[in-house]
Amino acid sequence: MAEAAMLDSDSLWQKVRDEAQSSANADPVFGKAVASAILAHDGFAAALADLIGQRLGGGGAERTRFTSFSRNAFRGEPDLIEAASRDLQAIARRDPAVADLLPPLLHYKGYIALQAWRVSNWLWRHDHRDAALLLQNEASNVLQVSIHPAASIGSAVYLDHATGIVIGANVVIGDEVTILQNVSIGRSSELPARSPRIGCGVYIGAGASILGDVSIGDFAKIGAGTVVTSDIPAGCTAVGNPARLTNCPESASAA
């Protein structure tokens, strides 16, 4: 059966509001938090900007600053909100423990870390480099996820558990990628210092390292603890240190 199409951000926001209202009605104590985080806002962009500010800001001034950065980015590039919508739906589709959209939006630090990166990347591309690096630093300190603002990441991306994830400058990551905890993706110590390129639909297991001028093909799987320093063909599974290939499609095996 074909997978249902992704909701656009407006439809997703209505679904999130409906879930929030149901939660508030069912639990008056939790309802106060839901009201301020979701129901008080008139759109997904405003709610998400506020959530980023609340998670990253250690005090009132910092919360206001990070919320303002986020609002400016979302206002300047509405596609960031569509990407955030697809990221949220990707969690519900891939995580069997998730039935609704509200819990990962409110509680999954990997989701907020990825959206904070989207804001930092916007700042970086608009020559607000110091602000971009400030966002990266706070996300690293608070959420244990460090993604350089100069990385490039697609949509429908899921940072699962999202502790100890490091993604370096100029790394390229495609759509529908899943990354588990303690993953490092970045340059190697060898010259020329080039960064990895991760295709679409790739799964990267816990503790994996992908280093240097390497390409990971679409729908490849990188096993837990695997160290990748050479190309992985599309559809293959890589395991071990150093990585060895298994379960490759015949076309990849023959290449």
Q: Using CB atoms within 10 A of its CB, is residue 175 exposed (0-12), middle (13-18) or buried (19+)? A: middle
CB 154 within 8 A of CB 134: no
Tokens of 65: 């600053």
| pLDDT band at 193; cut points 50, 70, 90 | confident
Closest C-alpha to 122, from 84, 165, 89: 84
pLDDT, tens digit (0-9, with 9 covering 90-100), for 227-254 = 999 999 999 999 999 999 999 998 665 4
Residue 209 neighbours by CB under 8 Å, 6+ apart = 183, 184, 185, 226, 227, 228
Model confidence pLDDT, tens digit, residues 41-74 = 999 999 999 999 999 998 999 999 999 999 999 9
pLDDT of residue 3: 58
Residue-wise pLDDT for 163-186, tens only, equals: 999 999 999 999 999 999 999 999
- Better pLDDT: 3 or 206: 206
Taken in order 54, 60, 66, 68, the sign of the CA dihedral is positive
Determine the average pLDDT of the residues in 29-37.
91
Q: What is the pLDDT of residue 1?
A: 30
Tell me the pairing of strands 145-147 and 165-167.
Answer: parallel
pLDDT band, residue 2 (cuts 50/70/90): very low
How much is the pTM?
A: 0.94
In percent, how much of the chain has pLDDT > 90?
A: 90
Whether the CB-CB separation of 94 and 175 falls below 8 Å is answered with no
Whether the per-residue pLDDT at 188 is higher than 90: the answer is no
Percent residues over pLDDT 70 in the chain: 96
Report which of 196, 218, 190 is spatially closest to residue 208, judged by C-alpha positions.
Answer: 196
Over residues 32-41, mean pLDDT = 94
Three-state SS string over the chain comes to: CCCCCCCCHHHHHHHHHHHHHHHHHHCHHHHHHHHHHHHCCCCHHHHHHHHHHHHHCCCHHHHHHHHHHHHHHHHHCCHHHHHHHHHHHHHHHHCCCCCCCHHHHHHCHHHHHHHHHHHHHHHHHCCCHHHHHHHHHHHHHHHCEEECCCCEECCCCEECCCCCEEECCCCEECCCCEECCCCEEECCCCCCCCCCEECCCCEECCCCEEECCCEECCCCEECCCCEECCCECCCCEEECCCCEEECCCHHHHHC
Q: Which tokens belong to 43? A: 């759109």
pLDDT above 90 for 160? yes
Residue type present at position 74: F
